A and B are shown apart, each in its own frame.
Chain A
Amino acid sequence: QAEVEETLKRIQTHKGVIGTIVVNAEGIPIRTTLDNSTTVQYAGLLHQLTMKARSTVRDIDPQNDLTFLRIRSKKHEIMVAPDKEYMLIVIQNPSE
């Protein structure tokens, strides 16, 4: 469990990272470095998007699966690493 802490801490201290969220399959944020309302917003919205993305990938090729989702926007990049039970969301600002 200490490793988890360490990993998350390390991710957070990378250059440009704004926030980190760990969400479970029900959309409950387990671990977050952002404030509650933002976290909840991200968790809810990204969860749905990830589901949609995964279903798209699987529709195209049933044996394929979604491993990573990156959304690049003008302001920053949202990276989602989905899993069966949990989801790791990181928001990074790459161009500093």
Chain B
Amino acid sequence: HVYLLLSKCVGLLYSSASSLPSRCFRCKDIDVLPTLKLSCFPTALTMEIVYVYTKKRNEFGRQCNFSDRSAELHVDILPDPSLAVNFIERDPCDVPIQCTQEMSEHEVNTERFESDTRGINHVEGGWPKDVNPHEMEQTIRFRKKVEKDENYISTVMQLGNNMEHCIKQNNAIDIYREYFEEEEVVEESEVQPSAKTINVFRDPNEVKRTASSLSWHPDGSRKLAVAYSSLEFQKVSKDMSLNSYIWDIENPNKPEMTLKPVSPLVCLEYNPKDCHILVGGSYNGQIAYWDTRKGSQPVEMSTIEHSHRDPVYRVIWLQSKTGTDTFSASTDGQVLWWDIRKMSEPTERLILDPNKKGNLDNALGAISLEFETTMPTKFMVGTEQGLVVSCNRKAKTPAEKIVCMYSGHHGPIYALQRNPFFPKNFLTVADWTARIWSEDIKESSIMWTKYHTAYLSDGSWSPVRPSVFFTIKMDGTLDVWDFLFKQNDPTLSVKVCDEALNSLRVQDNGHFLACGSQLGTVTLLEISSGLCTLQKNEKALATAMFERETKREKILEARHREMRLKERSRSEQSKEEDTKEGDGEESPEELITRIEKDFYEIVEAELKKRDKGEEKKVADAIKSD
């Protein structure tokens, strides 16, 4: 039996006592009398007994007596086949079942959008309302009406005139055609040729000496070696310093290095193969070489007995495997070859005797040397007497060494250089002119400058342009000549300083050059780019020019030779002719020869007259100096 205790804690819900069952569920015979204290109002959490079901004790306790019973069949429904008649047997069918969300499939078709291809026809607009554009008749009528209009007529006339003008214009010049296609744009270098002084290096000593020779450092040309000496005869004073300097071109205030020779250096050259070695020729005829790593004193000097007897005017490095060969020239008439490793004696000696006998007394004094590394067996010597001697190094006998001589100058040849682009042509600078020679023509130069008022002291080709060369004069001017552009005058003439200029050296890039003056001032100049960039066709034009001039000289030479021959034969013949008087009729051949003779005589007389005139001119020029 169950006590139903409903505690008040449960709450409000239990409000009516009448709904409570009055019977126990299990044994229906017991009345459960609800004795309850109902309280509707929930009070605070006190366990108050709300319902109490009482039952008498003696009514309790009747035990459940379980007893066994036999199985009783209550209901038995047997299959009734008659009921099967109401049903039809179905074939076994497979029914798939799955446990998923139920979905359904559904088809939808949108409404069809109709598209169409159409063209738009520009319909002529503007037809007035009364005219139907499609009616041919009406349009024609309208048009005719317009055409009758005064305004129309005048307008069309006027417009027509304008239009005609433009049409004719179009027809006159075909604007679509390419004219001037083949012509290349001529680049006009509008920049005037100019030279700008960059730096000036002055002799730091009190007593100024001449900057007699310059040499650029072979690597990048950042340094310049200058040889200082006094070339004036017996003007050497006791206070004069013997030193030569190497300048860094960026620092004109102080030389970078001093070279202390025994006697002042007249010429100085960097070794193109080894940028630390320099060779110098001195005033007393000795050759010395320096190594800039080893200090200011020369590493070795040549012995006095075997050196030159006169100042060494030029020393050049030779092309050799060891890179230690040089040769030097001096006014004592000798050209000596040296190996700097053994300076006690020259390796070879050449005496510039024009008679090829090796006689020192006859020898020509050498002032300049020329050597081109592309032609290692040949070299040239410029002499005091104005002759250029071309020599072959490889000749066996000294007599054969001197190949030929070029004459034409009136004074010592201060500069001698082959054109770096055309080695067959060389430049000589002497007296008042600069001359260009061709190796093949020995009688005269092929081109020459006019006679200047001042003596030319040095010259050099431009290493970048075949037709440009530089000359310096004793009045302190530097001339830049461009022979393709102008032959009568220098293209550019710059007054570098007031005293005479003595030496000139162009840097390898052709852009900068240095010139040294009599007072030891070396000026570094920059030339405008027009003069140091190779122009179009320049090589071809220069080639043509040199060839042309060479040919001209050749022709003249041939003519001269012919005339000399004629002259000689004529003088012989005239002796015979005296005996042959009274000849009688002359045959046609004799007539021809006689006429020829007369002709040549006249030509010769004319030439002689012209020569005399030229000589006079030269004499005048000399006199005016």
Contacts and interface: CB of A to CB of B under 8 A. Distances in A.
Contact of B143 (A30, A72, A77, A90): A30
Nearest to A24: B146
Contacts of A85: 151-152, 155
A31 B142 CA distance: 12
A1 interface: yes
A61 B176 CA distance: 32
A70 B166 contact: yes
B159 interface: yes
Interface string A1-35: 10110011011001111000010101111110000
A68 B127 CA distance: 26
Contacts of B176: 94-95
Given A16-B170, A27-B125, A28-B124, A83 B159 contact: yes
Interface in B169-185: 170-171, 174-177
B122 A44 contact: yes
Interface string A26-60: 11111100000100110110000000000000000
Contact of B175 (A4, A67, A72, A88): A72
Contact of B167 (A14, A26, A67): A14
A41 B121 CA distance: 9
Contact of A94 (B123, B147, B151, B174): B174
A27 B124 CA distance: 7
B125 A26 contact: yes
A51 to B, nearest CB: 14
B153 A4 contact: yes
A29 B162 CA distance: 20
B592 interface: no
Contacts of B143: 30-31
Interface string A79-90: 101011111101
Interface string B82-108: 000000000000000000000000000
B126 A7 contact: no
B285 to A, nearest CB: 82
Main secondary structure on chain B at its contact with chain A? helix
Given A41-B122, A43-B124, A4 B166 contact: no
Interface residues of B, number: 34
B156 A22 contact: yes
Interface string B293-305: 0000000000000
Contact of B159 (A15, A37, A81): A81
Interface string B175-216: 111000000000000000000000000000000000000000
B155 A83 contact: yes
Contacts of B158: 83
A79 to B, nearest CB: 5
B361 interface: no
A14 B171 contact: yes
A79 B166 contact: yes
B152 A86 contact: yes
Which residue, of A7, A14, A37, A70, has the highest number of chain B Cβ atoms within 10 A? A7
A94 B171 contact: yes
Interface in A62-84: 67-68, 70, 72, 77, 79, 81, 83-84
B28 interface: no
A29 B125 CA distance: 10
Contact of B160 (A7, A41, A87, A92): A7
A7 B162 contact: no
A7 B147 CA distance: 13
Contact of A30 (B123, B127, B147, B160): B147
A44 to B, nearest CB: 6
Contacts of B602: none
Nearest to A74: B176
Contacts of B168: 14
B164 interface: yes
B257 interface: no
Which residue, of A15, A70, A85, A94, has the highest number of chain B Cβ atoms within 10 A? A94
Nearest to A29: B124
A82 to B, nearest CB: 8
A67 B165 CA distance: 13
Which residue, of B142, B143, B177, has the highest number of chain A Cβ atoms within 10 A? B143
Interface string B563-593: 0000000000000000000000000000000
A70 B165 CA distance: 13
A76 to B, nearest CB: 10
Contacts of A94: 170-171, 174-176
A86 B156 contact: yes
B33 interface: no
A3 B153 CA distance: 8
Contact of A95 (B125, B157, B160, B177): B177
Nearest to B175: A94
Nearest to A88: B159
Nearest to A89: B163
A88 B160 contact: yes
A96 to B, nearest CB: 8
B235 interface: no
A27 B126 CA distance: 6
A68 B124 contact: no
Contact of B164 (A4, A11, A28, A37): A11
B238 interface: no
A95 B158 CA distance: 26
A90 to B, nearest CB: 5
A34 B162 CA distance: 21
Given A30-B146, A31-B147, A79-B166, A86 B160 contact: no
- 3 closest Cβ pairs, A-B complex: A26-B126, A81-B159, A94-B170
8 contacts: A3-B157, A4-B157, A4-B160, A8-B156, A10-B164, A72-B175, A83-B159, A94-B170
Given A16-B167, A90-B167, 9 more contacts: A4-B153, A8-B156, A10-B164, A11-B163, A28-B126, A29-B124, A83-B155, A84-B155, A92-B167
